[in-house]
Amino acid sequence: MDMARPHRFTLQAAVTKAASYTLAPADQGLHRYRELIINLAITAAERDSADETYDLWITTEDEGGASWDLCCFPQVATTGVKTFVARLLGNQVLPQTVTTAAPGVPVIESGTLSVATGGANVVGSLGAGLVRHGLWGRKMGYKLTIAGTVVTGIAYSITVEAR
């Protein structure tokens, strides 16, 4: 892939999910890029029982098979159309998590992430509304956790631009 040209791809075409789901990371050659812009477009979210919640993490994986979170979009607990955009920087940036504060407040992380089973940074551990700058692997996937009394679930799509 040519770094001068952005790499655009659909991580998840429009879909409706009524149960938790994990998309295994697929090789997108992301290690060649310095910036990721991830767009989560929600077209519907069921809230019939008022207890439904939806949490979605974008994940990455390196060549060795270790996986970790790149971002966790804000928890969805309301109906209606929503769009969330996460921008991640990976070149010459200290590993850091940026909070949901406005403006976002960076917290510099350890130079190493414990991503092994039982480690502090396993998939699904990054807090809602947070992004992690500084490090990603070749692959990208996602994890969706659905809780509550769900019948129809959530309708969404995910697109990515790597620059």
91 has pLDDT over 90: no
The tens digit of pLDDT for each residue in 114-157 reads 777 767 778 999 999 999 998 899 999 999 999 999 999 999 99
CA distances (Å), origin 153, targets 21, 83, 90, 91, 129: 12, 17, 33, 37, 20
Predicted pLDDT of residue 4: 59
Residue 151 contacts residue 46 (beta carbons within 8 Å): yes
Write down the residue that tokens 């109906």 correspond to: 79
Rounded mean pLDDT of 31-44? Answer: 96
Percentage of the residues of the chain whose pLDDT score is greater than 70: 96
Q: 95-121: per-residue pLDDT in tens?
A: 788 877 788 888 887 777 777 776 777
Q: DSSP for 87-128? A: EEE-SS---EEE-SSSS--EEEPPSS---STTSTT-TT-SPT
Question: Which residue ranges make up each domain of the chain?
Answer: 7-162
How crowded is residue 32: how many other Cβ atoms within 10 Å of its Cβ? 12
- Predicted local distance difference test score (pLDDT) of residue 64: 85
Q: Dig out the tokens for 78 from the structure.
A: 């309301």
In CATH terms, is domain 7-162 a member of 2.40.128?
Answer: no
Lookup: tokens for 126: 């990054």
CA 20 to chain centre: 15
Contact 25, 139 (CB under 8 A): yes
Q: How far apart are the first and last CA of the chain?
A: 11
HSE-CB of 135 using CA atoms within 13 angstroms: 18
Which pLDDT band, with edges at 50, 70 and 90, does 1 fall under? very low
